Structure 1
Amino acid sequence: MEKKDFLEALKKLKENSKKRNFSQAVDIVINLREIDIKREDRKIDHFVNLPFERGKKIKACALVDKQLLKNAQENCDLAILNEEFPRFGKKEIKKIANDHNFFIAQANIMTEVAKYFGKVLGPRGKMPNPKAGCVVPGTADLKPVVQRLQKTARLITKNEASVKALVGFENGKDEEIAENCLFIYNSIIDDLPEGKNNIKSVILKFTMGKPYEIGKGFRHESTTVEKTGS
């Protein structure tokens, strides 16, 4: 699969999209075959740094102690001091979780982070993750961390043998969206035991539009994810 395949798909999506009063998100869905995601060694779960930002600001919340507080306040959308953790109730933490894409934590207070935030952030997949560079020392500069997160996407198989990711928005540059798509596609192939042979289909979709399968065209059904083992 090449960049031109994604450019053609984007062209078709735009030609067949109704005019909306907002810019629709563009998602890529990669359906897998002959992959048993119940096996731990077959699950996909990693972070990639895309070539281009996707057109939506990624919000980061920092959970830190006094050593990193000033830096966090200057560079993150929200900074919470560890001394204040006990005053946050579950409802408030849920709101914070819904409002932020990534959580950055200072390594030496991870035990406190898990104690007070783990029950909410864990099930949402938003616990500070070292794979994403979100667990940092107290001496860290968070500016480059937050800048990198603007291009960071998580590629993960959940309950189905498929990976879905935001690659851009309808009003974005097609070239950049296509580059993001190709980067994700190649990253997934590198994770699969048989590479391209484990790819069943690759689909692009606008928020409100029909799915477009690369190489085949528009799907009549609205679903993009195929059942495991199909």
Structure 2
Amino acid sequence: MPLDNEIIKGAVEKAKMLGKQRKFKQTVELIVALKDINLKGNEGKFREVVYLPHAPSKEPNICVIASGDLLLEAKKLGLRTISREELSAMKGNKKAARNIGNSCDWILVSSDLMSLVGSILGPALGPRGKVPIAISPKSNISDVVNNYKRAVWARIRNEPQIQCKVGTEDMKNEEIIDNINAVFNTIESKIGIAKIARVYVKKTMGFPVEIALR
């Protein structure tokens, strides 16, 4: 059951108006409240990457952990990079691991280094909800990065709800509407409409505005 675009538009417009203007660019967030969800069961482990139709104007911080040509190509793009040697040197350095977890929105890892990343960075990434993404050492890193510039996590954390970014306050309403639909349709297809209780949209520092379900 798709959302009604006119209803979404009204909610987005209201959400943009609510709350004080800040000195930083606020994100626009979608909140999907769920019901009859067993947080300790498989349902509670729901986690999907959604590629938004329109990339938010505030780009995420992307870190690439790789070696060889993949590392060189990532450096050419001006991305934050970590080589195999630099990663190995972080072993036991909790401060360095926390820095990666705090500063990187997406951590793209050459598949041959995933086990090393798990053992060295895993303890710092897990509590922060960061999940390393495995990519092929032969990937076209430019294409991969462009995809993750418009990607968001749709996932259940510790409460029966899914909250994720669907844009920034300076984006056109039509773009935010498309992004909301992309996230909502993914959730509905995986969880089912019967378990969706309410849907809201809000700015980072604003108040939630309900998007009525049809």
Deviation at 1:172, TM superposition (A): 1.3
Counterpart CA distance in 2 for 1:127 and 1:21 is: 30
* Runs of 5+ unmatched residues, structure 2: none
* Mapping 1:197-208, distance limit 5 Å: 197-208=194-205
Closer, same or farther: CA 86–3 of 1 in aligned 2, 3 Å: same
Identify the range of structure 1 (26-35 vs 85-94) with the bigger mean alpha-carbon deviation.
Answer: 85-94
- The number of aligned residues is 209
Could you tell me whether the CA contact under 8 Å between 1:101 and 1:126 is conserved in 2? yes
Identify the range of structure 1 (36-45 vs 199-208) with the bigger mean alpha-carbon deviation.
Answer: 36-45
Counterpart CA distance in 2 for 1:156 and 1:16 is: 26
Deviation at 1:41, TM superposition (A): 4.3
Deviation at 1:58, TM superposition (A): 1.4
**Correspondence for 1:56:** 58
DSSP-derived class of the 2:127 partner: coil
DSSP-derived class of the 1:122 partner: helix
* Runs of 5+ unmatched residues, structure 1: 130-134, 217-230
1:114 and 2:113 equivalent? no
* Mapping 1:189-204, distance limit 5 Å: 189-192=188-191, 195-204=192-201
Deviation at 1:76, TM superposition (A): 5.5
Deviation at 1:96, TM superposition (A): 2.3
Identify the range of structure 1 (24-33 vs 91-100) with the bigger mean alpha-carbon deviation.
Answer: 91-100
1:95 and 2:92 equivalent? no
Deviation at 1:161, TM superposition (A): 1.0
Deviations for 1:76-101, whole angstroms, at most 9, x for unmatched residues? 62111102223222112211221111
Could you tell me whether the CA contact under 8 Å between 2:44 and 2:156 is conserved in 1? no
Could you tell me whether the CA contact under 8 Å between 2:32 and 2:198 is conserved in 1? yes
Counterpart CA distance in 2 for 1:87 and 1:105 is: 16
Counterpart CA distance in 2 for 1:83 and 1:198 is: 47
* Mapping 1:124-163, distance limit 5 Å: 124-129=128-133, 135-163=134-162
Identify the range of structure 1 (19-28 vs 95-104) with the bigger mean alpha-carbon deviation.
Answer: 19-28
RMSD: 1.9
Could you tell me whether the CA contact under 8 Å between 1:76 and 1:146 is conserved in 2? no
Could you tell me whether the CA contact under 8 Å between 1:59 and 1:76 is conserved in 2? no
Counterpart CA distance in 2 for 1:110 and 1:12 is: 43
Closer, same or farther: CA 17–117 of 1 in aligned 2, 3 Å: closer
DSSP-derived class of the 2:131 partner: coil
* Mapping 1:1-230, distance limit 5 Å: 1-41=3-43, 43-75=45-77, 77-88=79-90, 89-129=93-133, 135-192=134-191, 195-215=192-212
Residue 184 of structure 1 aligns with an amino acid whose one-letter code is V
Closer, same or farther: CA 117–20 of 1 in aligned 2, 3 Å: closer
Deviation at 1:106, TM superposition (A): 1.1
Deviation at 1:169, TM superposition (A): 1.6
TM-score with structure 2 setting the length: 0.89
Q: Structure 1 vs Structure 2: percent identity of aligned residues?
A: 29
